[in-house]
Amino acid sequence: MNLKRQIRYYCLRFTRLRGEPRELALGIAFGIFTGMMPIMPFQTALAVALALFFRVSKITAALGTWISNPLNWYFLYYSNYKIGALILNLSEKNRDFSSIMASIGRGDEVIVIIGKIAGAGSAIIAAFLIGGIFLGSVSAIPSYFIFLRLFSFIRDWRERRRERRRWLKRNQ
């Protein structure tokens, strides 16, 4: 399948998502929030769990986690730590942090990265998590409003299209 066709296919799938705009947008926001967290293999599970708890779209929650991917893990982990270290008033120069970032930069297995973070101590873990919560919140809140508008527009567009088709059928 060529790229243009794939993009069109996924755009159609996106516009055909069912649910109220608020539920879909909140699902995306939960996904983006958890996608910013440094919990790589558990992001989707947490996003879907939040979607279940708050009774919003599980599909869009899972889609929202795609904000983090192997292309930007380095940036996310780096930002999470730096923000968390700033909030916790930790030293920016840290051997364990440098080792974790080197491991991410080399593309080591996720389990190796998790092991290094877990072995780095509670202060480093706290810095990653607090930075992730901060970065996730800063990203999720505006994304909710952006996607709320987008999903409302899509719903209205689909309704106008349905009405136009009904009108054409009646007037043939």
Q: Which residues constitute the domain of residue 151? A: 21-170
Q: Which residue reads 């290094």 in tokens?
A: 116
Both tokens of 86, joined, read 């700033």
pTM assigned to the model? 0.84
Q: Would you say residue 149 lies in a domain?
A: yes
Q: Would you say residue 85 lies in a domain?
A: yes
Query: Residues 108-135: pLDDT tens digits?
Result: 888 888 888 888 888 888 998 999 999 9
| Structural domain total, the chain | 1
Max CA pair span of the chain: 75
**Alpha helices by DSSP H, the chain:** 3-15, 21-35, 43-54, 58-64, 73-88, 95-106, 110-119, 122-170
Binned at pLDDT 50, 70 and 90, residue 92 comes out as low
Between CA 104 and CA 58 the distance in angstroms is 29
Q: Would you say residue 39 lies in a domain?
A: yes
Q: How far is CA 32 from the centre of its chain?
A: 2
Q: Would you say residue 15 lies in a domain?
A: no
| Span 8-21, average pLDDT | 80
Q: Would you say residue 2 lies in a domain?
A: no
Buried b (16+ CB within 10 A) or exposed e, 33-72: bbbbbbbbeebbebbbebbeeeebbbbbbbbbbebbeeee
Q: How far is CA 13 from the centre of its chain?
A: 18
Pair 68, 36: CB distance under 8 Å: yes
Q: Would you say residue 159 lies in a domain?
A: yes
Residue 31 clears pLDDT 80, i.e. is over it: yes
Q: Would you say residue 16 lies in a domain?
A: no
Between CA 58 and CA 36 the distance in angstroms is 17
Residue 71 clears pLDDT 90, i.e. is over it: no
Residue 93 clears pLDDT 80, i.e. is over it: no
Mean pLDDT, rounded, of the chain: 88
Query: Residues 130-172: pLDDT tens digits?
Result: 999 999 999 999 999 999 999 999 899 989 988 998 998 888 7
